[in-house]
Amino acid sequence: MKYLVTGCAGFIGWKVTEFLLEAGHTVVGVDNLNAAYDTQIKRWRLNQLEGTPNFHFHRSDICERDVLRTIFEPVSTRDTPTFDAVINLAARAGVRQSVENPWVYVDTNVTGTLNLLELCREFEVKKFVLASTSSLYGENNPLPFSEEASTDRPLSPYAASKKGAESLCHSYHHLYGIDVTIFRFFTVYGPAGRPDMSAFRFVQWISEGKPVTVYGDGKQSSRDYTYLEDIARGVIAGLKPLEYEVINLGSDSPIVLIDTIRLIEELVGRKAELSHQPFHPADVRATWANIRKAEELLGWRPQVRFRQGITALVEWYQTNREWAKHIQTD
């Protein structure tokens, strides 16, 4: 099979691409390597992929439709089939950052998704996978969040932009019959993770003796942490024909924030210096995924327990500490 994976140097995109290549598929990867967070870690991930047979990288932006078209056109010939699927993992992520600059979130998450859907229509790509987010569930839905819960009151421009992307996917499924799988991810963590997310930051801050920023007292907030490799397995399972589905990928086992810090303290062998700050109004206090649909449609369940996953992250950090300690996490 031949797949287009956008955001291939991103956290999830890197691992999905790696798994597809290991399975013998061809992957055309697209990433603009933007500075939404420290690019050192994006380049590290990309370095793990480059040189792999059947991997072809384009440094491009999904906001630029004419550039994207040149990536679709060479494979749409009599001799070479078009892409078997487009996996759109390129996104501007981050709740608090979206409050500061909402425009770039609309550009990438909404317009970028539209560009890819339109090219799928034009070049007759039958399958489209979209990365979405648990942030869509907001604050007032009952826990655990099910896919049928309301997503009409997003708390941040980031969540609102993902709502727009999901809506476009439904439109293109309805109008043109594109088979669409939308995944709502729940707090993905693991080795080489995003440095703007709590797990990576806590490991770096505690390892280097930096103050650990905690919003609230750390006991009122919980997250459904989901290990990277479990997420990547789920995304690949979602390449099967499903017509149109929205599916949660989470661990179904929320972890209280302070317990995350205590576990990392234990694994690193160092106490955290906590710096308590007030809650941000765009933050959701708790996430918890109902994963029944993923089990029924994909045969998917998370396999990596939280302690095992955090241990892998700490070990990765210690192995790469010489450069990872300099990654910006502000």
Segments of the chain assigned E as strands: 2-6, 26-30, 55-58, 85-88, 127-133, 179-185, 188-189, 211-215, 222-223, 226-227, 244-249, 255-256, 273-277
d(CA 176, CA 21): 29
Catalytic residue among 3, 137, 158, 172: 158
CB 183 within 8 A of CB 235: yes
What is the helix (H) or strand (E) element at residue 127, kind and residue range?
strand 127-133
Q: In the chain, what is the straight-line distance between the N-terminal and C-terminal CA atoms, in Å? A: 40
Distances (CA, A) of 2 to 5, 81, 236: 10, 8, 13
| d(C-alpha 70, C-alpha 81), whole Å | 15
* Element spanning 160, H or E: helix 157-176
* Partners of residue 246 on adjacent β-strands: 182
158 as an active site residue: the answer is yes
Contacts of 18 (CB under 8 A, 6+ apart): 48, 49, 232
Contact yes or no for 328/38 (Cβ under 8 A): yes
The per-residue DSSP string of 75-106 comes to GSSSSS---SEEEE------HHHHHH-HHHHI
Residue 43: CB atoms within 10 Å: 12
The two beta strands, 255-256 and 222-223, are antiparallel
Eight-state DSSP code of residue 245: E
Dihedral, CA of residue 206, residue 267, residue 193 and residue 51, to nearest 10: 120
Distance between CA atoms of 273 and 108, rounded to whole angstroms? 36
DSSP 5: E
Query: Which sequence positions are flagged as catalytic?
Result: 158
